[in-house]
Amino acid sequence: MAFTVRLLLFSSLFLLPVSVFAQTNGSIAVGDFLTATTANSSPWLSPSGDFAFGFSPLGSNDLFLLSIWYAKIPDRTIVWHANGDNEAAVAPKGSTVNLTANSGLVLRSPQGEELWKSGTSVGVIANGVMNDTGNFVLQDRNSESLWETFNNPTDTMLPGQTLERSGKLSSRQSETNYSKGRFQLLLQEDGNLVLSTINLPTNFANEPYYATDTTSGTVAGSEGKELVFNVSGYLYVLRENGGKYNLAVGEVVSARDNYIRATLNFDGIFAQYYLPKNFTGNVSWTILWSEPDNICQRITESSGVGVCGYNSICTLKGDKRPTCRCPTGFSLLDPNDHIGDANRISYKAVKKMSLVAQKIYMMLRC
């Protein structure tokens, strides 16, 4: 009888779907795929279940974002997403992402159109791994990395991640628009880590509004080599001579007990956040530090258009994040872009509007 029970248990393992094993050890086999759907859409999980790779719904319009997010917190905070040159790789319902041996991750629409692919420079992919660090890695049969999300960041860094020279983070356009925004964090070839506005749709960077000044200077080897976010939660520029320039001075929280991330926000603020892993009830991210101290004053004419766009007024909130408002008689050109440009509307024009139009105008004011 005992032998029969053991045999049944052993046999039942072969009846379990492949995704169960993938979510247990984080390993994804070539040929595995995910489908963008709100029903029965199970992501690929890291071994601990802390991170998920899959399709994240965008609002309620049947659009999805191929992304990585924290899987155990109510707020689905996205730390990486598939991105084209300037546009987020938004996928309609029914799209699929396949893990292939030669092209890596391939995202296709329901009609078969290729929307995005990871690609690989050399080698044949044997499997993918969703790690507990939040890094999704494509490996060859010798477990060597051929492609990974840590080397292709979007707007966020996680503990264990580094940026080499010419590496950068790009902000999103808004809280809900994941296309490339107009702020970037760049480790320049001279070793200087800078925050700049960029002129879209080009990649031309204006004068920095924040810099670490980790260039060669008068001390040999003092230029920055890489930006390091170590597993203990420290974020610093590692110099060629081994010295460190710490981006934050003061409190550092434990990465063992907290989720930690450093994000270049859509409003140009680069900030480090933490959230306790053993949270209870409603929970939100807490800012540990941020740069610059006052972005409203730091972005000058030489640094490009301000945080709030033309004809908008920038003020700081208590968390040092900027908020924008329109002067009297102005309204947003794009009601969905709350840090965008504003346009003048005359009072005569407003008075001639219908009551409904006047209400809409009042809603569009910054």
pLDDT tens readout for residues 227-246: 999 999 999 999 999 999 99
Is 301 inside a domain boundary?
Answer: no
Is pLDDT of 132 > 70?
A: yes
Pick from 82, 59, 80: which is nearest to 69 by CA?
80
One domain, residues 193 and 71: no
78 and 168 together in one domain: no
List, for residues 287-306, the tens digit of each pLDDT value. Answer: 999 999 888 888 876 666 67
How many folded domains does the chain comprise? 3
For 288, the domain range is: 154-293
- Poorest-pLDDT segment among 1-15, 152-166, 310-324: 1-15
Q: Which pLDDT does position 250 carry in this prediction?
A: 72
Residue 303 lies in a domain: no
Assess if residue 19 is contained within a domain: yes
- Do 5 and 22 reside in the same domain of the chain? yes
* 2 and 133 share one domain: yes
In the listed set 293, 316, 337, which residue is the last one of a domain according to the structure? 293
Q: How confident is the model at residue 278 (pLDDT cuts 50, 70, 90)?
A: very high
Asked if pLDDT for residue 351 goes beyond 60, the answer is no
- 166 and 214 share a domain? yes
- Is residue 298 a part of any domain in this protein? no
Would you state the pLDDT for residue 223? 95
Is residue 167 very low, low, confident or very high in pLDDT (cuts 50, 70, 90)?
very high
Average pLDDT over residues 148-156: 97
Rounded-to-integer distance, Cα 296 and Cα 298, Å: 6
Whether 183 and 78 map to the same domain: the answer is no
The answer to whether residues 166 and 60 belong to one domain is no
% pLDDT > 70, the chain: 81
Answer yes or no: is pLDDT of 222 > 80. yes
Contact predicate 128/136, CB 8 Å = yes
Angle at CA of residue 213, ends 211 and 214, nearest 5°: 120
Q: Of 204, 200, 244, 207, nearest to 222 (Cα)? A: 244
Pairing of strands 224-229, 235-239: antiparallel
Is a pLDDT exceeding 50 seen at residue 10?
no
Q: 104-136 burial, b if ≥16 CB within 10 A, otherwise e? A: bbbbbeeeeeebbbbebeebebbbbbbbebbbb
pTM comes to 0.84
Please give the mean pLDDT across all residues of the chain.
84
Q: What is the pLDDT of residue 7?
A: 39
The CA angle 16-17-20, to the nearest 5 degrees, is: 90
Q: What's the CATH number where 215 sits?
A: 2.90.10.10
> Quick one: pLDDT at residue 126?
96
Shared domain for 272 and 354, answered yes or no, is no
CA 245 to chain CA mean position, Å: 24
Specify if 299 maps to a domain. Answer: no
- Residue with the bigger pLDDT between 182 and 129: it is 129
Note whether 112 and 257 are same-domain residues.
no
Question: Are the beta carbons of 309 and 295 closer than 8 angstroms?
Answer: no
Whether residues 112 and 53 share a domain: the answer is yes
Asked whether residue 215 falls in the same domain as residue 125, the answer is: no
Question: Which carries the bigger pLDDT value, residue 20 or residue 38?
Answer: 38
